[in-house]
Structure formats: structure tokens, C-alpha cells
Chains A and B, each alone.
Chain A
């Protein structure tokens, strides 16, 4: 029998499998994609040091390490359900049920859609779909594209499309409305971009213009925001234009846009059509946590973490015995942090399984410190207030699940 099943062969899942296997546990990893690596395989950006973060190489490194430790990795297999059965978990997959004492859910993140009219036309895709088509499958998504939505992932992938010789004509915002939320409000978008600007791992994210970093611009900026936008790596970023509709008969032919005021309200009579043969929707990321929900794990909505996340400790335990989580399912962060969290979960599982004795405490402690360190040095941050989101979860965990030893004894005495 296997000791651990890891759901998701992304950076968190692979790192978790490696740490568990390293401690002597028998591990199987399940992933529904065609190869291991998760969303890491699409990633390609330049670090502040100038070095490239090449997701394909990083995934390959993790994959090889896992194989060396005899981890059983199964791709093209989906997990549908899991349930507790006494001390064990039954995990239902497309190739049958696997029964184990320990489960690590590392299913990562998904993208928020922005359902504007015409978005179901072939040629409209999520920004992440374009990343995978370009960097993983190496097929061009089109000749001339428009990105709807301006956030850090959109800029990272804009750069990747350009590297592959694909022309992105413009970046516009979604129309303001209940579904687009702050992503449709120019002032709010500007604020979040300014936050990202100082992190600037590559010239691209420095958002071109000097004045964007300027406080004066921050206050008055949207009123004076140039009509033709500012250039991000050569592509106009049009914060005062909103996409109203994707047009086309059988597939994408263009995007109808209109000018907006500083709050994102459409100015009537300003509509134009930009031609394009593909459209990327950049709605942002949220934790993909359905499996934790069907397992019966309690959840908390924490905005800074990207949405609803399963309750978990810094050692990546959930309140359910034998169930652990790691990576973007616990909050939206970069690939490096997912690796560090996976390692933590892997050692945490080993500790619960009673492997390795005293060494494991040290390894686990080290892994937790490492998550904190990498978070401090992160080049890409999806939410600038991530630290505060993490703090909220650990306070919640302390309050709900950590009963200090003396509390027990006082209760007994009373």
C-alpha cells in the first residue's frame, strides 16, 4: 500500500512528494495534465538578478528528483472525490480508487473569467491558456491579439507572447460591472500596478513611464492618463478604454471598446472596434480548492489569498486527520513559494507518519523558515498584502485548533 497520495504534480505537489519520499514514505502523485509540472511549466520570466526563471527546467528538475526517490507519478488521471474511511482516505480517480493514510491536495489555482458579450467565440481564451499554448505546446495563439484586464499575470504573459514573436496590439480593461469588480476601475487598477512596479523583476513590469511611480501621478493620474495609453514593453496599456464586446461571426474578428472616465464609467458615443484574431481574458487567479471542500474541510474567505481557502496551519495540516494542503490552494503566490510550501507539507506528513525521529523536527522547522524567507524575497507578488492574508489564516488556526497544553490542564483543574 502507498503511504501518501499527492493530488497535483505542480511545484507544490512534486516538492511535497520529494520531501515525503526522502523521509522513507511511499508516494504516488496524480495529475490530470499530460505532463508533470503544473502551471510551473508555462512560466518564463527574468529575475531581478537577470537570470531567467525557466519553468520547464525547474519542473524537469523536480520531476527527476521525484523519480530518483521512486515516486510513482501518473499523468492524465483526474481525481473526482475523496472521503474518509476510518483512519484511511479513499481517493477516487479516473483509474480507480486509491486508499492511503495521508493525502496532500496541491491542485493549484484557476483563473477568474470575465464573461463579456462574445466571450464564447473561438479565439477568446484565458491569459493562462495563451501561456500554455505558447511556452508548453509551442503553437502560436494568433497573429494579433488584445488582452482584456491589466494585472501582473497579464504583463508577465504579454512578455512571454512577445518573446515568441506574437503581436499583442493593446491591453484594455474589462467594462466596469459586478463581475469585473475593481478590474474595471482605472484608479484601482493603477493602484495595484503601482504596487507591482517597485517589484519589477524585468523592465517590462516597470510599466514604462517614469511618472507612474510618481505620487502626483498617483493622485491626478487617471484624469490626465494619456488617451493613447502608456507603453508596456511596446504594447499600449489603455486604462481609460473598456472592452464592451468581442465581435466575430465564427471566430474572433475584433473587440468593441469605449472610452471611460477615471472611475471606469463608459462615455457614450466613443465606441470603436479594434481588429484582432485572438483575445486573452486576464481576470486574475483564485485557489482551486473543490477537492478540499468535498473532503469536508472548513473554509475561510481571505481576500489577500485570492478567495476561499481551506483552513490550514503553517505546517500545512488541515483540521482533518491525514489531510494536508500546499501551494496555490492555500493562497495565490508564485511558483517558488509553492515549492517551499510543498516541502513543508512533505516533512509534516513524514512527522505525522512517525518517520525519521528527531531529524524531522529540524527539517520541518527549516522548511517553514524557508517559506517565509522566499516570500520576503519574492519577485512576483500577486497580492501586495499577502503577508497580512497569511497572518489572518495562522491566527484563525491558533484560535480554532491550537489548544495550548496549559489550557487543557486548567480546564481539568476547574
Chain B
């Protein structure tokens, strides 16, 4: 998605430093002081994780920390809210992955 560079009331977007980070191994650019959620959307990425069990895709829902839908792994720390986390230089971000449901499979097979 594109950034809103010029706004009739809020004015022009400040010049901010570009910051490299990686998401699932690919390098992207964020702007200084922006959240992981905003930086990814600005790069056209809506899917932040897939549901641990069903494997269906999930993205930002509330954008202010309430819903927990935007959980990603940041520098090896799992379950970090993308909408509350500011991107830092060379941050390594991984999308939330589907978990094997071994016990459930076993129960189902019985």
C-alpha cells in the first residue's frame, strides 16, 4: 500500500530515515519510529501470521494492542504484537506459523 505523503489537514509526511528489516527472510524498508504493522502494510503485506491450528491467514485487526491478532516473532521472541512494536535497524521478524497438532491428531485417530 502507499504512504499518505501529503494530507490536506495534517500536512506533509516528515522526512524520516529509512530502516532496513527482514520479514520471513526478505528485506524491506520501514520509516523511523513506525510500527511493524504499519511498515509491513506500507510494503503491501497484510498477512502477519497463520492461525496456529487451522492455518488460515490473519492480519492486523484493531491496530492498538487489544485483539492479539497481529502476533509475530521479533528477534526470536514469539508472540509480539506487531501493532505496538517499533521497527528497529535490522530487526528480524518472522510471521506466526501453524503448529503441529499432534495430540489432536492422535485423539482424532482413536
**Beta-carbon contact of A123 and B9 below 8 Å:** no
Within 8 Å by CB of B2, from A32, A78, A140, lies: A140
Residues of the B chain whose Cβ atoms lie less than 8 Å from the Cβ of A121: 57, 59
The answer to whether A76 and B84 touch (CB under 8 A), given A110-B66, A125-B63, A139-B3, is yes
**Beta-carbon contact of B64 and A128 below 8 Å:** yes
Q: Within the complex, what minimum Cβ distance (angstroms) separates A289 from chain B?
A: 13
**Beta-carbon contact of B1 and A141 below 8 Å:** yes
- Of the listed residues B9, B10, B60, B61, the one surrounded by the most CB atoms of chain A closer than 10 A to its CB is B10
**Beta-carbon contact of A54 and B59 below 8 Å:** no
Q: Is A44 an interface residue (CB 8 A)?
A: yes
Residues of the A chain whose Cβ atoms lie less than 8 Å from the Cβ of B5: 138
**Beta-carbon contact of A140 and B1 below 8 Å:** yes
Q: Within the complex, what minimum Cβ distance (angstroms) separates A75 from chain B?
A: 9
Q: Within the complex, what minimum Cβ distance (angstroms) separates B60 from chain A?
A: 6
**Beta-carbon contact of A140 and B4 below 8 Å:** yes
Interface bits B49-83 vs A (CB < 8 Å: 1, else 0) = 00100001111111111110100000000000000
Q: Is B91 an interface residue (CB 8 A)?
A: no
A111 to B85, CA, bound (A): 21
The answer to whether A129 and B62 touch (CB under 8 A), given A34-B86, A139-B42, A140-B1, is yes
Q: Is A165 an interface residue (CB 8 A)?
A: yes
**Beta-carbon contact of A133 and B38 below 8 Å:** yes
Q: Within the complex, what minimum Cβ distance (angstroms) separates A49 from chain B?
A: 15
**Beta-carbon contact of A129 and B60 below 8 Å:** yes
**Beta-carbon contact of B86 and A76 below 8 Å:** yes
Within 8 Å by CB of A123, from B4, B46, B65, B69, lies: B46
The size of the chain A interface, using a CB distance under 8 A, is 39
**Beta-carbon contact of A163 and B8 below 8 Å:** yes
Q: Is A251 an interface residue (CB 8 A)?
A: yes
Q: Is A120 an interface residue (CB 8 A)?
A: yes
Q: Is A126 an interface residue (CB 8 A)?
A: yes
Q: Is A52 an interface residue (CB 8 A)?
A: yes
A130 to B56, CA, bound (A): 22
**Beta-carbon contact of B34 and A122 below 8 Å:** no
Residues of the A chain whose Cβ atoms lie less than 8 Å from the Cβ of B65: 32-33, 78
**Beta-carbon contact of B10 and A56 below 8 Å:** yes
Q: Is B7 an interface residue (CB 8 A)?
A: yes
The answer to whether A123 and B63 touch (CB under 8 A), given A44-B9, A76-B84, A251-B46, is no
Q: Is B41 an interface residue (CB 8 A)?
A: yes
Q: Is A135 an interface residue (CB 8 A)?
A: yes
Which residues on B are within 8 Å of A, measured CB to CB?
Answer: 1-5, 7-10, 13, 33-35, 37-38, 41-42, 46-48, 51, 56-67, 69, 84-86
Instruction: Give 11 A-B contacts (CB < 8 Å), ordered by A residue.
Output: A33-B64, A33-B84, A120-B58, A120-B69, A122-B48, A123-B46, A128-B63, A133-B41, A139-B38, A141-B41, A251-B59
